[in-house]
Structure 1
Amino acid sequence: MRVRSAALTATAGAALLLLAAPAAPAAPGDARLVAESVTVDPVGRIAADGGVTLSGTYRCTGGSGPVFVSSTVSQGDPSVRYGVGGTRAVCDGLEHRWVNTGTPDTVVLEPGAARVEATLMELRPMGIVPLPSFHARQAQDVTLTAPCPPRGGRGTRPENGRNDS
């Protein structure tokens, strides 16, 4: 009976040690074991025409349908978000850059604080209509910057509005 108790205790102890050990990282070549993710860069850009450019990185594994990185931006009211472009994703388990550019239809965004959400979404074939399947999402506070005005040189004079070229 004592031998059986000792064996049971040793087995239970080994099981606990295995459960407590950290998981080994995924092998770089095995895309199935890599975590899917999407990030948002801390700075976005506003063009002179009002277009917005947002960017970041993503990582995804193979999907059964097309995968996209979509992005939205909000300023002021967090419940109102504006779509800013979309990028087709390459899902090979490696990290890639994404850059989305678009012009919101109903608002002019201002330089300053904004909230950006990026989503890694697959259109999975399900019967006749593909359905969205979400792989990763990140929301982050960012700073939107405007283009710098030209320095010196030729241009329009403010006092008379004429071009001095």
Structure 2
Amino acid sequence: MSVRPLLLRSALATAAGAALFLLAAPAPPASADPSDTVTIGSVGRIAEDGTVTLSGTYRCADSTGPVFVSSSVSQSSPLLRHGIGGTRAVCDGVEHTWENTGKPGSDVLEPGQAHVEATLMELSPEGGLPLPLIHAAAWKDVTLTKG
């Protein structure tokens, strides 16, 4: 048997395997609408018990899965971020407000400057598994106040 038929069979087997893989692989998530937005308010609050409240606005036009506004805050180190709740979003093209609360721990955050990140994220059911699809994200320096 010559080498040429073996190489041809090997190439065909490789191509067939690659084609099957591509058919089985989930499609990448659709891209978000460029008009989707999320904003962060200039002031956050720290309650007496250490609970932090952050707020802002969002707008999203369309979704196929559930959408949430998540937020996090850092103060003493940009490497140490504290998740502050999550709000279910309504994607109807209208601007809505969001408010998240969370308690990162006692005496972790203090009144003063802090850096907040907010993300408008969908759990997109592309390919059978819910995959994260970022609709919008924002970063802002805010003032944390007692109250």
Fraction of identical pairs, as percent: 63
The equivalent residue for 1:119 is 119
Q: Shift of the alpha carbon at 1:40?
A: 0.2
Tell me which amino acid in the other structure corresponds to 1:121. Answer: M
TM-score after normalising by structure 1: 0.67
Q: Shift of the alpha carbon at 1:136?
A: 0.2
TM-score after normalising by structure 2: 0.74
Structure 1 alignment gaps of length 5 or more: 1-32, 148-165
Distance in 2 of aligned mates of 1:75 and 1:107: 12
Q: Which has the larger radius of gyration?
A: 1
The answer (yes or no) to whether the contact 1:34–1:93 under 8 Å persists in 2 is: no
**Aligned length, in residue pairs:** 116
Q: Shift of the alpha carbon at 1:62?
A: 1.3
Q: Shift of the alpha carbon at 1:127?
A: 3.4
Deviations 1:26-72 (A, max 9, x none): xxxxxxx8711000000000000000000000000110100000000
The answer (yes or no) to whether the contact 2:50–2:105 under 8 Å persists in 1 is: no
The equivalent residue for 1:91 is 91
Classify the secondary structure of the residue corresponding to 2:109: coil
Tell me which amino acid in the other structure corresponds to 1:137. Answer: A
Which moved further from structure 2: 109-118 or 99-108? Answer: 99-108
Tell me which amino acid in the other structure corresponds to 2:68. Answer: F
The equivalent residue for 1:39 is 39
Classify the secondary structure of the residue corresponding to 1:61: coil
Tell me which amino acid in the other structure corresponds to 2:136. Answer: A
The answer (yes or no) to whether the contact 2:111–2:143 under 8 Å persists in 1 is: yes
Higher relative contact order by CA 8 Å / sep ≥ 6: 1 or 2? 2
CA RMSD of aligned residues (A): 1.8
Q: Shift of the alpha carbon at 1:106?
A: 7.4
The equivalent residue for 2:51 is 51
The answer (yes or no) to whether the contact 2:50–2:106 under 8 Å persists in 1 is: no
Classify the secondary structure of the residue corresponding to 1:76: coil
Q: Structure 1 residues 51 and 65, CA, compared in 2 at 3 Å: closer, same or farther? A: same
Distance in 2 of aligned mates of 1:46 and 1:106: 11
The equivalent residue for 1:110 is 110
Structure 2 alignment gaps of length 5 or more: 1-32
Q: Shift of the alpha carbon at 1:87?
A: 0.2
Classify the secondary structure of the residue corresponding to 1:127: helix
